[in-house]
Amino acid sequence: QEQLVESGGGLVQPGGSLRVSCAVSGRTMSAYSMGWFRRAPGKEREFVAAISRSSGSTYYAESVKDRFTISRDDAKNTMDLQMNSLKPEDTAVYYCASSWYGTTQITPEKYHAWGQGTQVTVSS
């Protein structure tokens, strides 16, 4: 079973940018599709973005589309989420996850491994 560790979270002002990363170990990341989810205070975990294996096809939640960019580097077993034009509503713990399905998945049940999360706070 693989392990996932997020990093790069922190405090950023509204309108600013931040990049969070996910490092995978124990398995070759290229075998899986990958995704980012987030949990805001008082809310359920929600889908943010996903990227497929091999082709690198991506899919985004409407709330982040055109602001966030998901990417992967299979040679390094890492995945990134570049977040631009951040809003206070983006404040949440961000989780990376891997999926056996290979294609982009938007529901948590489709992911088999999760990181511990990294806090992103958007505030002035």
According to DSSP, residue 104 is labeled -
pLDDT at 73: 95
Closest-CA residue to 123 (of 50, 41, 61): 41
pLDDT at 54: 85
User: What digits encode the pLDDT tens for the residues 74-100?
Assistant: 999 999 999 999 999 999 999 999 999
pLDDT digits (tens, 9 = 90+) for 41-69: 999 999 999 999 987 899 999 999 999 99
The two tokens of residue 105 are 């998945």
What is the per-residue pLDDT across 31-42, written as a single tens digit (0 to 9) for each? Answer: 999 999 999 999
E strand map for the chain: 3-7, 10-12, 18-25, 33-39, 46-51, 58-60, 68-73, 78-83, 92-99, 113-114, 118-122
* C-alpha dihedral, 108 to 62 to 122 to 86, nearest 10°: 140
Contact 49, 70 (CB under 8 A): yes
Of all residues in the chain, what percent carry a pLDDT higher than 70?
A: 100
Q: What is the pLDDT of residue 1?
A: 82
What is the predicted pLDDT for the residue at 96?
A: 98
Looking at the chain, the whole-number percentage of residues with pLDDT higher than 90 is: 94
Place of tokens 């405090």: 11
Q: Is 28 helix (H, G, I), strand (E, B) or coil?
A: coil
